[in-house]
């Protein structure tokens, strides 16, 4: 007999970043979600809004989703019903970010009930996966960017990703040339414009970057603009990666069917949790696109271990929850030598403390 949800509790945790993502982005916000079931099982999940909308997501969870799910089955299979229930407030964005908190908690509870991990429930297919070093580093001076890439190389990463989008693309080209010199010829270099360009600027910049052989260009254009992506596809052969700002499987299908995306990058939280993430991964596979989950390596890795294909795991320097001192217990994941291995023995293994255990000053040099 399926357990029933007795209560849903939501907290708010603001986490200082050891390495700011911009001069004005020094914290990220997590909303830990606890689902209590009538069989005594407690599931732990979270929603994540790095800089925008945490209060709105918390209110959506508390006022809309928690009352709806209380008294219903503690089963992530109800995700579609819940999404349809709240769709009036928007098909994606606040609604899906909020849904993720409960979806993760229900998967965590299911795995704990079965005495295994979420990866175990899904069926583990990989013992380890490759990790690429990633940095929110457009604001770094050149010497600090180069030093960061040197750290990634020393740590064994076979691929790295850096930000582009300076007002003058020639400056980006110079920075990328310095990065490529550190990487050498045999490591992959991904670049990420974070939606900063229009089509003309993107096409011009990408032509300048040919010499550094980018493995992909991520979010070259505003993610909502499918027509612009069609035009850019006509003007560049460079693989295009996107997805962190698409929120539903329907939008992923639009971009895949238009033939404008080569690397699909769903963020597990922004798409609404594990349930829709798995459906999006299936869709990408059907359409012949690669998949590389966006951020949250301690979550993304656990799901990617269960996918048929081997995928890259993105690891932003000094930004794992464990590094930031906000986890109540170890996830059991081991990051090193450019790979991730291991995982929790039960559930997701991602349970948050009330506050970071170390002040940012004790966790390393600022990236600003």
Per the residue annotation, which of 163, 166, 204, 229 is the catalytic one? 163
Do the bridges between strand 159-163 and strand 188-192 make them parallel or antiparallel, or are there none, so unpaired?
parallel
CA pair distance 213, 189, nearest whole angstrom: 7
Catalytic: which of 157, 161, 247, 294?
294
Residue 315 dihedral angles phi and psi, to the nearest 5°: -130, 100
Q: How many residues does the chain have?
A: 368
Interior angle at CA 226, CA 285 and CA 264, nearest 5: 25
Active-site residue, 339 included: no
- The H or E element containing residue 283 is helix 274-287
Question: What is the per-residue DSSP string for 138-173?
Answer: TTS-HHHHHHHHHHHHHTT-SEEEEE---SSHHHHH
The residue among 225, 243, 238, 330 whose CA lies nearest residue 287 is 243
Please say whether the beta carbons of 197 and 166 come within 8 A: no
In the annotation, is 294 catalytic?
yes
How far is it, in rounded angstroms, from Cα 215 to Cα 44? 36
Active site residues: 163, 294
């Amino acid at each position: 007999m399926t357990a029933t949800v007795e209560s849903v509790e939501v907290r708010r945790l603001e986490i200082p970043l050891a390495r700011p993502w911009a001069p004005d982005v020094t914290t990220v916000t997590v909303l830990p979600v606890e689902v209590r079931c009538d069989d005594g099982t407690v599931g732990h999940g979270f929603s994540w809004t790095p800089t925008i909308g945490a209060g709105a997501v918390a209110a959506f969870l508390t006022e809309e989703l928690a009352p709806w799910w209380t008294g219903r089955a503690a089963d992530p299979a109800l995700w579609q019903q819940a999404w349809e229930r709240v769709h009036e407030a928007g098909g994606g964005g606040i609604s899906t970010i909020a849904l993720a908190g409960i979806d993760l908690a229900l998967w965590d509870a299911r795995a704990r009930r079965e005495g295994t991990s979420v990866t175990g429930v899904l069926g583990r297919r990989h013992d380890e996966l490759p990790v690429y070093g990633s940095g929110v580093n457009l604001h770094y001076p050149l010497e600090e960017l180069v030093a960061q890439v040197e750290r990634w190389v020393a740590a064994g990463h076979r691929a790295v990703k850096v930000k582009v989008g300076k007002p003058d693309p020639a400056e980006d080209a110079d920075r990328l040339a310095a990065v490529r010199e550190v990487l050498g010829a045999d490591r992959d270099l991904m670049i990420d414009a974070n939606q900063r360009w229009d089509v003309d600027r993107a096409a011009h910049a990408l032509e300048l970057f040919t010499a550094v052989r980018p493995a992909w260009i991520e979010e070259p254009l505003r993610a909502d603009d499918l027509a612009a992506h069609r035009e850019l596809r006509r003007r560049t052969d460079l693989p295009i990666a996107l997805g962190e700002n698409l929120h539903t499987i329907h939008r992923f299908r639009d971009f895949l069917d238009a033939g404008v995306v080569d690397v699909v990058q769903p963020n597990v939280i922004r798409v609404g949790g594990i349930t829709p993430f798995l459906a999006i991964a299936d869709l990408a596979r059907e359409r012949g696109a690669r998949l590389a989950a966006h951020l949250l390596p301690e979550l993304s890795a656990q799901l990617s271990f269960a996918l048929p294909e081997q995928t890259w795991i993105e690891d932003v320097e000094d930004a794992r929850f464990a590094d930031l001192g906000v986890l109540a217990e170890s996830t059991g994941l081991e990051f090193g030598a450019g790979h991730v291995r291991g995982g929790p023995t039960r559930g997701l293994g991602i349970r948050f403390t009330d506050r970071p255990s170390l002040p940012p000053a004790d966790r390393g040099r600022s990236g600003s």
